[in-house]
Chains A and B, each alone.
Chain A
Amino acid sequence: MFDDQLLSHGSAQARRRAVASVINARLHAGTFNYTELMTQPEPLLSDGMEILDGVMVENNIPKYQMGPVETWDGQGIVLVHIHPQGHILGDVVVKERVPGTNQFRSVKRRRDFGNAAVISDVPGERIARAMLYRSGWPIMQARTNGAAMGSVIEWRWLEREAASPDAAEEVVKLYAEIITRKGFLELGVYAPADQSKIKTPGERRAGASP
């Protein structure tokens, strides 16, 4: 997502401006995804999250809601488990009544979102973001140098990555397998005609620029 040159800016402010420019362009083009951002080194990762959350930093102190906050138009983020039988598990805050009383308390509960789901990512909760950070594929592998494997994949990233001429074999295979899953197709985020986007390894090599 980011050019290495972004890291060579002399000041933090200049770097943040450059990161904002890249992210805003991606958001405008509809090509932004968390996976690419989360595999960036610091300080680019925090810079990027600041842009998405409308955070301005003054004297090293973050000020919130100083800029536009990304809400994804309330649509959420499409996440898919990497295994056909796997379940996406995430933490959601729910209000529960204290047994025997009329008092309510907010508690975090684990929710099973099924094999594929559109997960809310509204500011203040950022459930999808938290799930990707904790168990994103290939975010976890990149972060731990392969010591830990992610289990949840961001569809927007996979779709884009699988169509890339540089896509890894397992990425293409995963894409091809996921688009056959009934539960995923029921989400309505993928039309079968899109399958033409997938190229065989040979086609991808042939299509790649020399």
Chain B
Amino acid sequence: MAGVTAAATSGEGAITDALKSQAVQEQIEQLYRNDEVMREFQMRPFTGGSTINVKMHYAGNTSVSTYSEGDAIGQAGAQSYITAQWPEAHYKCVVQITGHARDFTKDGSNSAVFYDQAGQEIQRGMVDIVHQISLDMLSTGTTAPVGLQGIVDSTGTLAGLSKSTYTWWASYETAGSSTTITVADLNSGLASAADPPYAARISAFWTSWKQKGKHANVIGNAGAANSPIQIQVGNGTPSINMPSTTDISYHGGVPIKPKSNLTNSIWLGLTESDFFIGVSRDITVALLGKTDDSDKYLITCGYGLGCMAPRRSFKLTTYTD
């Protein structure tokens, strides 16, 4: 066949060179990145030094007592304080683009490229850092970078304070009654953490998506034999399994927030307002000095997870099913 044809793969009649088939003008994200932690807690700027130092008040005036007429008033007492020192971790990402690459892509001009590759490298580098920070903040770390599971724990040394020595610094922590979450475990956790000395004000449960599903199964599912509301038909077979009257996004009025990357075997009951993210450096992009024809960018930031009162959050562990 003569002329311009779709069949021709080369030569004057081929349409190959005219087709924009190399790529579409966008990038579709296929890489999973976690950003589920940083948006949850308030930010606190560092005020100088390598830690955010917070004075913890743990005992009242010791001179308080009753007295009778004519008694000597005795010595004055004082409140007791200990300083918690919350650390931070610096994060970095290095991006480099050569002079040749910059020239050939015309600095990301639309006339030359489908997308600004150098710009994307920097932008995606920031997302990579946020992902790493999120994973660290969900971890068991007790030194920089400190993780949520390290904070909500009954043992260990956190922010320079040993939870064994300073019992008011320890969280309530217990293993589940079985390997599958139960309503009783969550109720018990809420009650135990609410009692002295923990005095929690739990505002959310954090757990994995799998555990949230397990909880839903425990509450009961519509159409399944474990439904909490069953209407027997005839002699009881078959039965109509109604939806649960309980909204399974909550337990005891406390919302359940499933978090990706959180260890699958635990449930955390958090007093979220106690947590903060210390900021020693916001995300910063700096152009490094030239040593060759390349441009090298350094993306940096400094963050650290902290908590004003770890005792006001609790942890249930050992859920393997």
A residues apposed to B, CB below 8 Å: 7-12, 15, 38, 41-43, 45-46, 49-50, 52-53, 55, 57, 59-62, 64, 89, 91, 93, 108-110, 125-126, 129-130, 133-134, 143-144, 147-148
Of residues 141 to 199 in B, which have CB atoms within 8 Å of A's CB atoms? 154-155, 157, 160-162, 164-168, 170, 172-175, 192, 195-197
Which partner residue on chain B sits nearest A14 by CB separation?
B75
Known: A60-B81, A61-B160, A62-B160. A8 touches B62 (CB 8 A): yes
Roughly how many angstroms separate A102 CA and B18 CA in the complex, as a whole number? 54
Roughly how many angstroms separate A8 CA and B76 CA in the complex, as a whole number? 7
Roughly how many angstroms separate A109 CA and B293 CA in the complex, as a whole number? 55
Known pairs A10-B76, A46-B166, A50-B165. 17 more at Cβ < 8 A?
A: A7-B62, A8-B74, A8-B75, A8-B77, A12-B78, A42-B59, A43-B62, A43-B80, A49-B167, A53-B162, A53-B164, A55-B165, A60-B55, A89-B175, A91-B317, A93-B155, A125-B155
Known: A60-B82, A147-B195. A108 touches B317 (CB 8 A): yes
A126 touches B164 (CB 8 A): yes
A148 touches B192 (CB 8 A): yes
A91 touches B155 (CB 8 A): yes
B residues apposed to A, CB below 8 Å: 55, 58-60, 62-63, 74-78, 80-83, 85, 154-155, 157, 160-162, 164-168, 170, 172-175, 192, 195-197, 317-318
Query: Which residues on A sit within 8 Å (CB–CB) of B197?
Result: 143
Q: Is the interface of A mostly helix, strand, loop or mixed?
A: mixed
Residue contacts A-B, CB under 8 angstroms, 10 given: A12-B78, A42-B58, A42-B59, A42-B80, A45-B167, A60-B82, A91-B155, A126-B155, A133-B167, A134-B154
Known: A9-B75, A53-B162, A130-B164. A91 touches B173 (CB 8 A): yes
Query: Which residues on A sit within 8 Å (CB–CB) of B165?
Result: 46, 49-50, 52-53, 55, 62
Which partner residue on chain A sits nearest B315 by CB separation?
A108
Query: Which residues on A sit within 8 Å (CB–CB) of B161?
Result: 62
Which partner residue on chain A sits nearest B157 by CB separation?
A64
Roughly how many angstroms separate A9 CA and B62 CA in the complex, as a whole number? 9
Query: Which residues on A sit within 8 Å (CB–CB) of B63?
Result: 7-8
Q: Tell me the minimal C-beta distance from A148 to chain B in angstroms.
A: 6
Roughly how many angstroms separate A125 CA and B155 CA in the complex, as a whole number? 7
Q: Tell me the minimal C-beta distance from B49 to chain A in angstroms.
A: 12
Query: Which residues on B sit within 8 Å (CB–CB) of A134?
Result: 154, 172, 174
A91 touches B154 (CB 8 A): yes
Query: Which residues on B sit within 8 Å (CB–CB) of A45?
Result: 167
Roughly how many angstroms separate A139 CA and B267 CA in the complex, as a whole number? 26
Query: Which residues on B sit within 8 Å (CB–CB) of A7?
Result: 62-63, 77
Known: A91-B175, A148-B195. A12 touches B162 (CB 8 A): no
B77 touches A46 (CB 8 A): no
A46 touches B59 (CB 8 A): yes
Roughly how many angstroms separate A15 CA and B160 CA in the complex, as a whole number? 22
Roughly how many angstroms separate A53 CA and B157 CA in the complex, as a whole number? 12
Query: Which residues on B sit within 8 Å (CB–CB) of A133?
Result: 167, 170
Query: Which residues on A sit within 8 Å (CB–CB) of B173?
Result: 91, 108
Roughly how many angstroms separate A59 CA and B162 CA in the complex, as a whole number? 17
Roughly how many angstroms separate A62 CA and B160 CA in the complex, as a whole number? 7
Roughly how many angstroms separate A125 CA and B156 CA in the complex, as a whole number? 8
Known: A10-B75, A148-B192. A49 touches B174 (CB 8 A): no
A109 touches B318 (CB 8 A): yes
Roughly how many angstroms separate A59 CA and B83 CA in the complex, as a whole number? 8
A61 touches B85 (CB 8 A): yes
Question: 8 shortest A-B CB distances, which residue pairs?
Answer: A110-B175, A43-B59, A42-B59, A7-B62, A126-B164, A43-B80, A10-B75, A49-B165
Q: Tell me the minimal C-beta distance from A141 to chain B in angstroms.
A: 11
Specify which of B62, B83, B164 is in contact with A129 (CB 8 Å cutoff).
B164
Query: Which residues on A sit within 8 Å (CB–CB) of B164?
Result: 49, 53, 126, 129-130
Roughly how many angstroms separate A8 CA and B196 CA in the complex, as a whole number? 25
A143 touches B166 (CB 8 A): no
Query: Which residues on A sit within 8 Å (CB–CB) of B167?
Result: 38, 45-46, 49, 133
Roughly how many angstroms separate A50 CA and B164 CA in the complex, as a whole number? 9
Query: Which residues on A sit within 8 Å (CB–CB) of B83?
Result: 59-61
Query: Which residues on B sit within 8 Å (CB–CB) of A9?
Result: 62, 75
A15 touches B62 (CB 8 A): yes
Query: Which residues on B sit within 8 Å (CB–CB) of A60?
Result: 55, 81-83
Roughly how many angstroms separate A60 CA and B161 CA in the complex, as a whole number? 11
